[in-house]
Amino acid sequence: MDKLLQQIVNGITLGSIYALIALGYTMVYGIIKLINFAHCDIYMIGAYVGYFCMTYFKLGLVPSLLIAMLVCSLLGVLIERIAYRPLRNAARISVLITAIGVSLFLEYGTMFFVKANVRTYPEVTGMMAQRFNVGEMVISMQQIILVGITILLMALLQFIVKRTRLGKAMRAVSMDRDAAQLMGIDVNSTVSFTFALGSALAGAAGILVGLYYNTINPLMGVVPGLKAFIAAVFGGIGIIPGAMIGGYFIGAVEVMVSGYGGSMFRDAVVFGILILILIIKPSGLLGKNTREKV
C-alpha cells in the first residue's frame, strides 16, 4: 500500500512535467493544426538556460525560472516567425517536415555550442534538499516545488485563455481563422502569442526537470517530447484540459509500470497506449467525434 502511494507521488511529479510540455503541443495544434516537433527541444533549451543561470550567474530558482521561460517564449515566437509563418498556407505535411528540421537544427545546434556531454545541475542545498517522511512514503521538497509551480502555471494559463482578450482571440482563431480575422482579430500576433505561451511552459518544464533529475544533455527532449505528445493525443489534441489530464495519466502509467518491475517495458507500454487510442478513440479522451455531414 505504501509502495503504491509512493508511486502515486512519483507519478504526479513526472506527470507534471509531461503535462507542461503537452500543453505547448496541444495549444499550437489547436491554433494552426501543426504538431510542432521542435517543441521538445525548446524544453531542452529551457533546461540549458536554467543551468547557465544557476551555475554561472548563481541565480536562484525563481529568477532562473523566469529567465528560462522568457528565453524560450522568444525562441518559440522566432521559430514560428522564421520557419512556420511562410508556410501558413502550404500543405500541412510541408510544415510538419519543417518542424522536424527545426527540431534537428536545435538539437545539433545546441550540441555544437555546449558539447554533447551530460551536464549536472548544481546540488540543491538547504530548504530545497529537505525530505518529508509521511508513513513509509518519502516526499522531497523538490517534488513539492515542481508540482506546485506546475499547478500555478496551469491555473495562470487557464485564466489567460478564458478571461483575457488574447485568450478569447486564441479560441476564435482556433475555431475559424478566416472568420476571426474578418472580425478584426490579428491572426499573426495571436499565433505568436500562442507559441510564446506554449514555449514558456516548456521552458519551465526544462528547468524543473534539470533540478529534479540533475542531468541534462542536448537530446534530453526527444523521449519526453514524444511522451508528452502522446499525453496530448490521449487527452484530445487541441484541448487544453485534455493535455493536463493526459500528462498526469501518462506520468502515472510510466511510474507504475517501472515501479512494479517492468521498467524495461515502460516506454513500450506508453507507446502501446498511443496505438490503442488511435484505434479506439482517435479524437482523445475529451475530444468530440466529428462526423462528416453528407
Partner 1 sequence: MPILSVERVTKAFGGLAAVSNVSLDIIEGELVGLIGPNGAGKTTLFNLLTGIYVPDSGTINLSIDKQVIPLNGIRPHSICQKGLARTFQNIRLFKDLTVLENVLIAMNQNINYGLLTSFLHLPAYKREEEKLLHESIELLRIFDLDKKKDELARNLSYGEQRHLEIIRALATNPKLLLLDEPAAGMNPAETANLMDIIGWIREKFDLTILLIEHDMTLVMNICERIYVLDHGMLIASGTPDEVRTNKRVIEAYLGEDINNA
Q: Which residues of the shown chain bind partner 1 in the complex (CB under 8 A)? A: 159, 163-166, 168-169, 171-172, 175-176, 178-188
Closer Cβ to partner 1, 137 or 187, answer by number: 187
Of 118 and 179, which CB lies nearer to partner 1 in the complex structure?
A: 179
Task: Using the minimum distance from each CB to partner 1, give the nearer residue, 82 or 183.
Answer: 183
CB of 168 to partner 1, least distance (A): 5
The least CB distance from residue 127 to partner 1, in Å, is 29
**Minimum CB distance to partner 1, residue 286 (Å):** 12
Q: How far apart are CA 287 and CA 285, in angstroms?
A: 6
Give the nearest distance from C-beta 182 to partner 1 in angstroms. Answer: 5
Q: How far is the CB of 157 from partner 1 (least distance, A)?
A: 13
Compare residues 33 and 171 and give the one whose CB is closer to partner 1. 171
If one counts every other C-beta atom within 10 angstroms of the C-beta of residue 185, the result is 18
Minimum distance of partner 1 from residue 247's CB (angstroms):
23
* 288 DSSP 8-state letter: P
Q: Look-up: residue for cell 555544437? A: 112
At its nearest, how many Å lie between partner 1 and the CB of residue 170?
10
What phi, psi does 137 have (nearest 5°)? -80, 150
Closest by CA position to 286, among listed 255, 243, 228: 243
**Angle at the Cα of 171 from the Cα atoms of 166 and 12, rounded to 5 degrees:** 95
DSSP secondary structure, 31-43, as one string: HH----TTHHHHH
State the residue for C-alpha cell 498526469: 248
CA-based max dimension of the chain: 65
Nearer to partner 1, 81 or 266 (CB): 81
DSSP 186-242: -HHHHHHHHHHHHHHHHHHHHHHHHHHH-EE-TTTTHHHHHHHHHHHHHH-TT-HHH
- Supply the DSSP symbol for 33: -
Q: Note whether 259 and 14 are within 8 A (CB).
A: no
Q: Which is nearer to partner 1, 30 or 225 (CB)?
A: 30
The amino acid occupying position 43 is Y
- Report the residue number, 174 or 258, with the smaller CB distance to partner 1: 174
Radius of gyration over alpha carbons of the chain, in Å? Answer: 19
CA distance 131 to 146: 14
For 121, the 3-state DSSP assignment is: coil
Least distance to partner 1, CB of residue 197, Å: 12
Shorter beta-carbon distance to partner 1: residue 131 or 163: 163
Asked whether the beta carbons of 181 and 187 are under 8 A apart, the reply is yes
